[in-house]
Amino acid sequence: MLDIRAGDGSLLAYLKRTHALEPLTIGIPHKVCEPVRQKGIKVLETEITLDHSALPQADHIVMSAVLEHLPNPEAVLSRVKGKFNRFLLVDIPNTGALDDRLPLLLGRRPKQSAFHAGEHLRFWTVTDSLFLCRRLGYRVEPYYRLYDFYYQLGLKLWRSYPQLFARYVVDITRRQD
């Protein structure tokens, strides 16, 4: 399993412990990679956005909270296309969710950052993510809508209307031969 920019490595450490997976992550810089290594995860220090960087073949590839931080996510998705044997899992925040649309109606920018306003370079909606994947030749099946605790409205509107009520979208693409 390859996790591109694996954060602190917790997901890979969990999967290594619970499933017989050989995890690998791609990340930079060194200070970010060291905590991942300490969890027993192999780290390839390279930048995924560079065309010349090595991208190994893997059964599964995960890109969680990555695309919105990249200047050219289309190029990265194109590079990843032939590198997974079973599936690619991509998750993105849904800027079309109601809690992002309301600030826009009030003349404010949606807040999708944890540390500073410029950390998200691209903004996505459910429709945008599906359109991009299909345009690049991916067949997304299925896609999931995820919600935060404040979306539990009793009616679970995020299931029926993901464009408005899903906070995150997870696209899963299976390898097409």
pLDDT by residue (tens digit) across 5-15?
Answer: 877 888 888 88
The answer to whether the CB of 136 falls within 8 A of the CB of 49 is no
Higher pLDDT, 67 or 142: 67
What are the structure tokens assigned to 98, written together? 């109601």
CA distances from 161 to 9, 130, 144, 146, 149 (A): 32, 15, 12, 12, 17
Q: In the 8-state DSSP scheme, what is residue 124? A: B
Pick 160 or 102 by higher pLDDT. 102
Model confidence at 113: pLDDT above 70 = no
Cβ atoms within 10 Å, residue 64: 17
Which amino acid would we find at residue 46? T
All structural domains of the chain, each given as residue ranges with its CATH number in brackets, are: 2-174 (3.40.50.150)
Determine which of 1-5, 36-40, 117-121 has the lowest per-residue pLDDT on average: 117-121
pLDDT in tens, 128-170: 888 888 899 888 876 767 666 555 556 666 667 777 777 777 7
State which amino acid sits at residue 52: H
The string of pLDDT tens digits covering residues 75-91 is 999 989 889 998 898 88
Is the separation of the CB atoms in 158 and 128 below 8 Å? Answer: no
1 or 161: which leads in pLDDT: 1
Residue 177 pLDDT > 60: no
Q: Tens of pLDDT along 14-60?
A: 888 898 888 888 876 666 788 888 888 888 888 777 766 678 899 98
Q: Which residues contact 136 (CB under 8 A, 6 or more apart)?
A: 74, 77, 78, 81
